[in-house]
Amino acid sequence: MSEERRPVLITGVGLVSALAEGLEAHWAALDVAGGAAPPVDRESYSPYPIHPLVEVDFDQQIPKRGDQRQMEPWQRIGTYAAGMALDSAGIKGQTEILSSTDMIVAAGGGERDIAVDSAVLGEIVNRDEFGTILNERLSNDLRPTLFLAQLPNLLAGNISIVHKVTGSSRTFMGEEMAGVDAVRAAYARVASGQSEICLVGGSFNAARHDLILLFELGGYLWESDWCPVWERTDRGGGLVPGSMGAFLVLESADHAARRGKPGLARLDGVASERTTRGPGAAGNAAAGQLNALRTALTGAPLAVLSGASGVEPATSEERTFVTQLAKDHDASVRAAGTAIGHGFEAQFPAIVGLATLVASQRSLYPPRDGSGVELPAASPIGQILATCWGHWRGEGMALVTALDAG
């Protein structure tokens, strides 16, 4: 490992979810007796519940309608959240800083034209040879610009165009693991001096028939009335997709100080791993990650924000891990997915964003869990451990420290 590590501050967070828009509104929605319950759309994708995005005025961050028209919703959500993060960091419109701001985006695939797909499917379903008709239909029916609204790297492209972030641009793919590695790479680049300031995050639109299909192929979706994540484990498990956009601005403490920005919290480490999910494998990986972060634990009261998806058996394994962790460190646990649903590529950036919120509040919001995993928390919270086990692959962890807690 590298010898020198510079402190890395989280100086901006842009978070929009089913629950709220912005950190303040998230806190207002989370800090309620009985815990937050995000809006659920039970009908549109029945039998699968989803969490639709809170109503957003996209003009606020994407002023040109022409730009908005060039994006499918997943790109609009991400470009919007990226703008919020830049606002939060105080660099929105600061051309000089933005031209050297690095960017790592975690992206999934773009949205298909459901009407075109359905029409084509109707034409080809009973044909053994459908190549020629497919050529004709797709050539005539696909919007030329739809391709660009689908390409994963065009979320970053749109952020460059709309917000002028142009230092560098990378897009990671691979569901939750992409989000974890994006944050890890951004952290490592800033900590090592390869970057001074980096915008990192992702977005996810849950309101998509094509993704509902994909996830149901794997059998990952929850299909009963909504309930908190930990309560799903003895009922077969399953995830509830949640629309969200989550971006962070990570910055070297020196760079932030030079422009007089105090920062919201400090990021003290990020770890990623991929196990093949044999029994106990993810738990062992997480234990190793925790061990690597141990020297950064200050002993200040700890909270655990888990990214558990609800999918089994990973969620049961993660429950065992975080329950033991809570016991060992006298910590309190919350499943972020209960509050905002599951956002795949965006999940880990969103959890780190929520951890930043908890760090800045020095307080953990009330539990919403009938399973006994989540308990009321002591205050003031000094550090937050964020975990993110993917629904299929990828194990991630981050440690966020409140600025006045060491």
**Which residues between 105 and 164 bind another protein (CB under 8 A)?**
107-110, 112, 114, 117-118, 120-122, 124-125, 129-132, 134-136, 138-139, 142-148, 150-154, 156-158, 160-161, 164
Binding segment toward another protein, per CB under 8 A, in 28-36, 267-275, 288-296, 380-388 = 267-275
Looking at the Cβ atoms of 344 and 365, the one nearer to another protein is 344
Looking at the Cβ atoms of 83 and 390, the one nearer to another protein is 390
* Smallest separation, CB 227 to another protein (Å): 21
Looking at the Cβ atoms of 173 and 375, the one nearer to another protein is 173
Q: Is 229 in the site for another protein (CB under 8 A)?
A: no
β-pairing, 244-252 vs 197-204, is antiparallel
In this structure, are residues 216 and 206 in contact, taking their beta carbons and an 8 Å threshold?
no
Q: Is 281 in the site for another protein (CB under 8 A)?
A: no
* Smallest separation, CB 35 to another protein (Å): 31
Measured distance CA(252)–CA(8) in Å, rounded: 5
Residues written for the chain: 406
Measured distance CA(400)–CA(403) in Å, rounded: 9
* Smallest separation, CB 165 to another protein (Å): 7
Q: Which of residues 170-209 bind another protein (CB under 8 A)?
A: 170-175, 177-178, 180-181, 185, 188-189, 192, 194, 209
Looking at the Cβ atoms of 274 and 362, the one nearer to another protein is 274
Looking at the Cβ atoms of 288 and 406, the one nearer to another protein is 288
Q: Is 9 in the site for another protein (CB under 8 A)?
A: no
Q: What angle do CA 107, 148, 342 make, to 5 degrees?
A: 25
* Smallest separation, CB 32 to another protein (Å): 35
Q: Is 278 in the site for another protein (CB under 8 A)?
A: no
Looking at the Cβ atoms of 21 and 181, the one nearer to another protein is 181
Looking at the Cβ atoms of 219 and 313, the one nearer to another protein is 219
DSSP-assigned letters across all residues of 219-288? T-B--SS---GGGGGGGT--B-BB-EEEEEEEEEHHHHHHTT---SEEEEEEEEE-----TTHHHHHHHH
* Smallest separation, CB 112 to another protein (Å): 7
Q: Is 385 in the site for another protein (CB under 8 A)?
A: no
**Residue 170: what residue type?**
R
Q: Which residue has the tokens 């993060």?
A: 85
* Smallest separation, CB 131 to another protein (Å): 3
Measured distance CA(339)–CA(240) in Å, rounded: 11
Q: Is 253 in the site for another protein (CB under 8 A)?
A: no
Distances, alpha carbon 139 to alpha carbons 70, 115, 132, 133, 149, in Å? 19, 15, 11, 10, 17
Binding segment toward another protein, per CB under 8 A, in 199-207, 259-267, 270-278, 330-338 = 270-278
Q: Is 334 in the site for another protein (CB under 8 A)?
A: no
Q: Is 284 in the site for another protein (CB under 8 A)?
A: no
In this structure, are residues 242 and 340 in contact, taking their beta carbons and an 8 Å threshold?
yes
Looking at the Cβ atoms of 161 and 405, the one nearer to another protein is 161
Residue 299: DSSP 8-state? S
Looking at the Cβ atoms of 25 and 148, the one nearer to another protein is 148
In this structure, are residues 243 and 51 in contact, taking their beta carbons and an 8 Å threshold?
yes
Q: Which of residues 67-106 bind another protein (CB under 8 A)?
A: 70, 103
* Smallest separation, CB 223 to another protein (Å): 9
- Report CA torsion sign: 339, 351, 217, 116: positive
Q: Which of residues 11-70 bind another protein (CB under 8 A)?
A: 70
Within its chain, how far is the Cα of 88 from the centroid?
Answer: 17
Q: Among candidates 255, 95, 106, 105, which has minimal Cα distance to 166? A: 95
* Smallest separation, CB 303 to another protein (Å): 25
In this structure, are residues 223 and 48 in contact, taking their beta carbons and an 8 Å threshold?
yes
Cis? peptide before 380, omega within 30° of 0: yes
